[in-house]
Structure 1
Amino acid sequence: MESALRNLSSSVELLAVAAHSGAVDQWDDHSLSSAFDWARYCEHLFSRFHNNPAVRGAMEEQLQLTNGRLRAAFPGSTEVSFPDLSRCQHHLLIGLLNNPKLPISIMKLLFDSNAPADSGCVDVSGLCSRIIQCKSACKVLSPLTPPSAVGADAEVQGGLLMERLGALITHGRAEHFLDSVLRGCEGAAAEHFCLVIAAALLTRTNSETASHEVLLDWLLKEQPSTLERTCSALPTARLMDLVKEHLKFRDAYRDVLKKWASEMEYSIGDGEWVQSRTNPPASFQKLTEHFQALFETCPSLRDDVEKELNALKISDGDFDVRGLSVWGDLLSELHK
């Protein structure tokens, strides 16, 4: 019994270290696997002794002593009660994700579901991905939840992204974290990350304001290519949600549309304006639809934007012949 109480105390101390200590900066896959082994050990203790009054009483007394020591060492730590032991792995995971010192290598491991069988960390690898899948299934199956425009996975990951940014902001590491995530995204993964960004920016809890600002500033000032990809990847309705929610995004979105138009060339063979720089390329029809949606969502913008487009048309020679100025042809479509 004494051994079990010592192990219980050590495991609770480990939870506090995972959530509040900078020591996690030195963790590797072996450290992570060991931590979850101890968390499972605590869950086993709860399962075995929760109906045993004598043993449970001794463990609750041990928890009180350990919580007292941890309050002195980590003033912001949360006390662990006996019922909390039943979800010890969950508490460990949440503590790690909220610790700004958690290294990117551990973050990737928690989300990577393709760990080698001999890595010694198979049970832990992809843990966050499995949770996302379960939460996504709940969103899809819930009759009270309307279908998401970006997908349930992106909705769940967007919420997790906001939580992670909230933990990193005060330590000045939020932008570094976003850069690190983006570096690991290519192709379809990069497009999915755009959906996650949109879902994160549309979370609506009072505590997310600072995280929204950091994410928006990073997207608009540091990652113009990611902003363009986001405008290309998102459904128009979702873009309009962002336009209504964030003034900064609205103005940046308008600039992206003008940039796409400026990069178009008229194809005599196709009889249409074409563009090849955006990936995927934006068609003239799609560009027109974007502007129309923007005007419908923000009617007050229409006059200003049309004045800008008309000035650009004049700089091209103010011709009204189709194919000579993308601005003139765009204005003609918008006036139909």
Structure 2
Amino acid sequence: MEAVLRNLAGTAELLAVAGRSGVVEQWDKQTLSRAFHWARYCEHVFTRFHNNPGMRRIMEKQLQLTNQSLQAAFPAYTDVSFSDLSQCQHLLLVGLLNNPELPSSIMKILFDSPANTKQTEHEDVSGLCSHIIQCKSACKVLSPLTDVSAVGADAEVQGAMLMEELATLLSQSSEACRTEHFLDSVLRGCDGAAQHFCLVIAAALLTTTNPAAQTASQDFLLDWLREKHSELRHMCSTSPPALLIDLSKQHLKFRDAYCAVLKKWASEMEYSMSDGEWVQTSTNQTSVTFQKLAERFLALLKACPSLREDVVKELNVLKISDGDFDVRGLSVWGDLLSVINKCP
């Protein structure tokens, strides 16, 4: 444990040096490779211990002590928290690029074309920035095609990138928590752009470039999404209905999750005597009218006929639990059944 704490402190010091010290002028390929090695080490430490409260407290205390000493050595130093360890490579790269003392030789490694990189021990970091730039450029070039795609060209590119990263993580590590944390980090990074994040998720789930290789990645993404109830509901309320139907037809897990969201919305409705209509009582989600709810149920059952029998049976059970009255306004389940049965 003492070795782990020393390594954490050393990596925090490394991040400070990379971003704020002129020492980077002396860096070479080997130094750069070792730096990213230690950054990956810290990401592994986070994956290993982030769900262990006792170990986490010990590491947080060590980082606090290290931060205090670094604050004295570097003006305007930004503390490194335990959660920051999950994106240590990103912090290292940003620090290096913002350091005016970074030598051109290191810049060349980071911006070198991956296609021209020789097979060496430094291949893992060569062309790192070029890859990011290529992805950004692809989004910009494809943006005029947004109206052609259900999610937008930029979301399609980002969705494909997300699938590639998930496939890499799942192939490299048997620890699901590391992949889950990666998705959590992407979600936090999209703060303020939740709707776009939903489109990226949809694009990833609809990717069909290599079906055999991406099945595991899409299954993992679906399981993660189903655990994120708030994000799933937001996705179902803001995404185009046709897009949700496409997802439902392609993925049984999404179909069931979407159907569950629709039933949850129905359960949160109460009949307004003044409006003469069912209205949603929940204040935490985007309001969905009874008419739109019924339309979405009908569209889902039409697209997935095998689902109809089970849904009708369940709605009948819920209607009976409400008294089994065939009077409008007494049971939201009864009124939904009435709409569904009129459109066989």
Assess same fold via TM > 0.5: yes
Distance 1:36 1:209 in 2: 43
Compute the displacement of 1:138 (Å). Answer: 3.0
Compute the displacement of 1:15 (Å). Answer: 7.3
TM normalised by structure 2 equals 0.64
- Aligned-CA RMSD value: 3.6
In structure 2, the residue matched to 1:241 is 246
Correspondences of 1:1-336 after superposition (within 5 Å): 10=28, 14=32, 22=40, 25=89, 27=92, 29-33=94-98, 37-38=104-105, 41=108, 67=119, 70=120, 73=121, 77=123, 91-93=127-129, 128=132, 134-141=137-144, 147-169=148-170, 170-171=172-173, 172=175, 173-186=178-191, 188-206=192-210, 207-220=213-226, 222-277=227-282, 279-336=285-342
Compute the displacement of 1:308 (Å). Answer: 0.8
Distance 2:255 2:39 in 1: 40
Q: Structure 2: any 5+ residue segments left out of the alignment? A: 1-24, 42-87
Structure 2 counterpart of 1:30, which letter?
G
User: Can you list the C-alpha shifts for 1:26-47, whole angstroms capped at 9, x where unaligned?
Assistant: 726332446795465469999x
Q: Structure 1: any 5+ residue segments left out of the alignment? A: 1-6, 47-59, 81-87, 96-127
Structure 2 counterpart of 1:296, which letter?
K
Structure 1 counterpart of 2:253, which letter?
K
User: Can you list the C-alpha shifts for 1:262-293, whole angstroms capped at 9, x where unaligned?
Assistant: 11011111111111425211111111111111
Compute the displacement of 1:184 (Å). Answer: 4.2
In structure 2, the residue matched to 1:55 is none
Q: Percent identity between the aligned chains? A: 52
Asked if the contact 1:36–1:92 (Cα under 8 Å) also holds between the matched residues in 2, the reply is no
Asked if the contact 2:110–2:130 (Cα under 8 Å) also holds between the matched residues in 1, the reply is no
Asked if the contact 2:249–2:255 (Cα under 8 Å) also holds between the matched residues in 1, the reply is yes
User: What SS does the corresponding residue of 1:27 show, helix, strand or coil?
Assistant: helix
In structure 2, the residue matched to 1:108 is none
Asked if the contact 1:19–1:92 (Cα under 8 Å) also holds between the matched residues in 2, the reply is no
Asked if the contact 2:110–2:129 (Cα under 8 Å) also holds between the matched residues in 1, the reply is no
Change (3 A) 1:268 1:315: same
Structure 1 counterpart of 2:319, which letter?
K
Compute the displacement of 1:134 (Å). Answer: 3.5
Distance 2:189 2:255 in 1: 28
Structure 2 counterpart of 1:279, which letter?
Q
Distance 1:300 1:233 in 2: 26
User: Can you list the C-alpha shifts for 1:40-71, whole angstroms capped at 9, x where unaligned?
Assistant: 5469999xxxxxxxxxxxxx9xx87xx4xx3x
User: What SS does the corresponding residue of 2:151 show, helix, strand or coil?
Assistant: coil
User: What SS does the corresponding residue of 1:324 show, helix, strand or coil?
Assistant: coil
Compute the displacement of 1:140 (Å). Answer: 4.2
Distance 1:93 1:250 in 2: 38
Compute the displacement of 1:152 (Å). Answer: 2.2
Change (3 A) 1:44 1:263: closer
User: What SS does the corresponding residue of 1:266 show, helix, strand or coil?
Assistant: strand
Distance 2:341 2:299 in 1: 14
Asked if the contact 1:39–1:92 (Cα under 8 Å) also holds between the matched residues in 2, the reply is no
